[in-house]
Amino acid sequence: MKKIILTSALIILTIALSGLSHAKVTGACYNCHTMHNSQGGTEMAYQLKGTLDGFEPDVTPNPCLLTTNCIGCHSATGSATWKDPTTGAPIVFNSSAPATPLAGGNFYWVTINESYGHNIFSQDSKLSKAPGDAGFSTCATNGCHANLHGTVSGASALDGRQGCTKCHMVSGSGKTSGYHHANDGTDTKYVETAAKGWYRFLSGHMSGDGHGVAGIEDVDWQATSSASDHNEYLGFHDPGGGYGFGSLGHTTSAFCTGCHAVFHDNQGSGSPWLRHPSDLIIPNSGEYASISTAYNPLVPVARPAGFNWGGSPSGTVAAGTDMVMCLSCHRAHGSPYYKMLRWPYKEGATLSECLSGCNVCHTSKN
């Protein structure tokens, strides 16, 4: 009888999850789910401690019967980032300095200095809203465009989003689950539709509903990287500014402008620039003429729509077609450097350290 009940429960759970999945489920269900959050009188769910240095039992059951939230699953108390030995999840927050940060960087650096990344843990002491805000920060209490640490309320279907789920969401209002049952495959893949979960589950809502980021996902989140082993990002040449998916297409920069719209919309015309341009084609003349044609994963570029998106990552950079974008200079989660930059820029940086990133494009400024 116990076997029958257990089998029935698992069938019900599988049916319930099938509406959330887009491919086969792999691995044991209990790696991520708990039926009643109780086993031998002890909670099965867990959460990150408020001190951010370990985990503790969570007495409150989680949606979708999950044992923990996003940051709980993608965290580790050691320095390893690739990957969780049980779930295979990439690690984006370590309680000690990460040995090899993944492509998006690591939230560890935010705990060292809140100016080093996106703060998903607490209210920023210096910023009341995202810099470059274009007025979207007032859409709800603790709205996605205002901060990342607070829990959204007053936005109907988006209520309850906090931290990771303010950026990583499925496309469509009212959907709160991810695509973690989708098959990632065994190699890099081009993701360009909602059916595939968009690139790293980065999608929009309201006016951006049904839209998301497109790109080629590296299979190990760049735990290893080289000129031919890396993510590929879609770009859209937009000298006139603008922001959002409607103006910039399914690009990473379009997603970033959801919170930092002014930085893209008000760049200037180049005579002179008011802000560093993004989604602008790297010139093949002047100080850029000697740009290296070998792709440098430390300074990624965005590719045009005509790029070979059905193929493998390219090992070359083409001035005159490839573009500078937000992630050319910044890590998405956090970095060891001011303003989550990819290389030192201030706070004691030497000239050679500063130019280790800048002069990849600005070759004459040595």
What pLDDT is stored for residue 7 in this prediction? 42
More confident residue, 268 or 49: 49
Q: Same domain, yes or no, for 126 and 91?
A: no
* Predicted TM-score (pTM) of this structure: 0.87
**Cβ count within 10 A of residue 239:** 12
Q: Which pLDDT value is given to residue 22?
A: 33
Q: What count of other Cβ atoms lies within 10 Å of the Cβ of residue 305?
A: 13
The verdict on 65 and 140 lying in the same domain is no
Residues 263 and 192 in one domain: yes
The answer on 205 and 238 residing in a single domain is yes
Counting residues of the chain whose pLDDT is more than 70, the rounded percentage is: 87
Predicted confidence band of residue 179 (pLDDT cuts 50, 70, 90): low
Q: Select the highest-mean-pLDDT range: 67-76, 151-160, 181-190, 262-271.
A: 67-76
The predicted model gives 340-351 an average pLDDT of: 79
- The domain tally of the chain equals 2
Q: Which residue has the tokens 């740009």?
A: 291
Q: Which of 67, 100, 133 is the last residue of a domain?
A: 100
Identify the CA nearest to 168 among candidates 153, 157, 179: 179
The DSSP secondary structure of 278-336, one letter per residue, reads: SSEEPPSSGGGTT--SB--TTS--EE-TTS-TTSPPPSB--TTT-EE-GGGTB-SSB-S
* 91/175 same-domain check: no
- Range of the structural domain that residue 309 is part of: 105-366
pLDDT by residue (tens digit) across 289-327? 888 899 999 999 999 999 999 889 999 999 999 999 999
Question: What letter does residue 25 receive in the DSSP assignment?
Answer: -
Confidence of residue 105 (pLDDT cuts 50, 70, 90): very high
Q: What are phi and psi of 319, to 5 degrees?
A: -60, 140
User: Among 72, 100, 128, which residue terminates a domain?
Assistant: 100
- Mark which of 35, 67, 100 sits at the end of a domain: 100
Q: What average pLDDT does the structure give for the chain?
A: 83
324 and 343 both lie in a single domain:
yes
Q: Which backbone phi and psi does 110 adopt, to 5 degrees?
A: -65, -35
Indicate whether 238 pLDDT > 50.
yes
141/53 same-domain check:
no
DSSP three-state, residue 352: helix
Is there a single domain that holds both residue 279 and residue 136? yes
Report the candidate in 223, 102, 110 with the shortest Cα–Cα distance to residue 163.
110
- 82 lies in the same domain as 112: no
What pLDDT band is residue 348 in, cutting at 50, 70 and 90? Answer: low
Q: Same domain for 60 and 133?
A: no
Residues in the chain: 366
For residues 167 and 78, membership in a common domain is answered with no
Angle, alpha carbons 273-132-284 (nearest 5°): 35
pLDDT tens digits for 22-70?
333 467 888 889 999 988 888 999 998 988 888 999 998 888 889 998 8
Looking at the structure, do residues 306 and 238 belong to the same domain, yes or no?
yes
